[in-house]
Amino acid sequence: MEIAIISGKGGTGKSSISAAFATLIGQPVVLADCDVDAANLHILFTPTHEEEQVYIAGQTAIIDYSICTHCGICMDYCRFDAIHSMDGKITISETSCDGCHLCARVCPHGAITMVDNDKSRMYSGAFRNGRMVYGRLAPGEENSGKLVNMVRDKAKAIAKDYNLENIIIDGPPGIGCAVISSITGTNHVVVVTEPTLSGLHDLKRALEIVEKFSLKAWVIINKYDLNDDMSRLIEQHCHEKGIPLAGKLPFNPSVVEAMVNLKSIIEWQPQSEFSRQIGAIWNTITQSK
Ligand code: SF4
Ligand code: SF4
């Protein structure tokens, strides 16, 4: 079973809940950190690095200055404003270059070549409750959705090799292509929200994406007691849309305490009411028909 945990925006507690799910069940899991722009569960779980794979996130143009005449033709053609002239010298900005190859084709001297963006990585190994896979997109590199696909494929292969039933996917926040790559084909998508106006707004957008792909959606209202009125509004919205509420969790400073101590809340306070509530949410989701 693949369960993706996402949120319409960052800071809702999505990763804390993913970490709790990953340490909750009495059997090992595959944990896939698909928040490739800001993967952080490896900091919490310190997995072994048994495998490292290079992810080619497109290409960047580079100039061979032993050939370039600084004629500026390439600059006129670049639609991404990645080529500039400074004191008569033509330069290409690595972060602005889209890798479209056009400059390499128009350069009359063949001074531009395309090189792979090879700084992004996917890692896999063991963590204390099973196996873990995570991707890290290098700053400025693109195509996060493809890296997410790579992480998910690896997670599925590991689940098969190690005979592990559950894959827990910590998805990225937002509604971009990395989110879509994180949720497509999963059995359950859990959208974590918080009781604020922007939380409700972002929840609606996230649910639209889940609906578009006809996936089974659940909602968790985290820190619901910080704003009871807004929590009720969110519940009402879920009710109107026919989206089941997996559960509500109160604000709990121990969640941060657990993170500071590199533990999930389940590991930090296994017998607490809060941990029991997370367990109940997990059961609600996984035991649903
Ligand atoms: S078109 Fe070629 S030669 Fe002209 S500035 Fe660009 S890289 Fe240099
Ligand atoms: S590859 Fe495309 S985006 Fe990059 S510098 Fe050349 S023309 Fe611009």
3-state secondary structure 233-266: HHHHHHHHHCCCEEEEECCCHHHHHHHHCCCCHH
Residues 110 and 206 in one domain: no
Beta bridge mates, 121: 54, 136
| Residue owning the nearest CA to atom 8 of ligand 1 | 68
Spatial contact of 152 and 35, defined as CB atoms under 8 Å apart: no
**Last residue of a domain, which of 96, 116, 136?**
116
pLDDT at 195 (0 to 100): 95
Residues 35 and 167 in one domain: yes
**Full-model pTM:** 0.86
Residues 147 and 187 in one domain: yes
Structural domain total, the chain? 2
Q: What domain range is 178 assigned to?
A: 2-56+128-286
Residues 109 and 206 in one domain: no
Residues 215 and 103 in one domain: no
- Whether 122 is covered by a domain: the verdict is no
**Last residue of a domain, which of 67, 96, 116?**
116
Is residue 170 within a helix (H) or strand (E), and if so which, with residue range? strand 167-173
pLDDT at 27 (0 to 100): 81
* Per-residue confidence in pLDDT tens, the chain, 289 aa: 999 999 988 788 999 999 999 998 678 999 999 998 888 899 999 999 999 999 988 899 999 999 999 999 999 999 999 999 999 999 999 889 999 999 999 999 999 999 998 889 999 999 999 999 999 888 877 778 899 999 999 999 999 999 999 999 999 888 888 999 999 999 999 999 999 999 999 999 999 999 999 999 999 999 999 999 999 999 999 999 999 999 999 999 999 999 999 999 999 999 999 999 999 999 999 998 6
How far lies 59's CA from each of 65, 140, 148, in Å? 19, 12, 18
Residues 163 and 253 in one domain: yes
Residues 36 and 69 in one domain: no
**Last residue of a domain, which of 95, 116, 137?**
116
pLDDT at 221 (0 to 100): 97
**What CATH code is carried by the domain that includes residue 98?**
3.30.70.20
Spatial contact of 113 and 65, defined as CB atoms under 8 Å apart: no
**Is the CB–ligand 2 distance for residue 122 below 6 Å?**
no
Residues 51 and 70 in one domain: no
**What CATH code is carried by the domain that includes residue 12?**
3.40.50.300
Residues 246 and 215 in one domain: yes
Residues with CB under 6 A from ligand 1: 63, 68-74, 90, 107, 109, 111-112
pLDDT at 78 (0 to 100): 97
- Whether 121 is covered by a domain: the verdict is no
pLDDT at 85 (0 to 100): 95
pLDDT at 138 (0 to 100): 86
**Is the CB–ligand 2 distance for residue 5 below 6 Å?**
no
- Whether 227 is covered by a domain: the verdict is yes
- Whether 101 is covered by a domain: the verdict is yes
Give the ligand with the smallest distance to the CA of 111. Answer: 1
Residues 79 and 166 in one domain: no
- Whether 123 is covered by a domain: the verdict is no
pLDDT at 64 (0 to 100): 97
- Whether 168 is covered by a domain: the verdict is yes
pLDDT at 144 (0 to 100): 85
**Is the CB–ligand 2 distance for residue 100 below 6 Å?**
yes
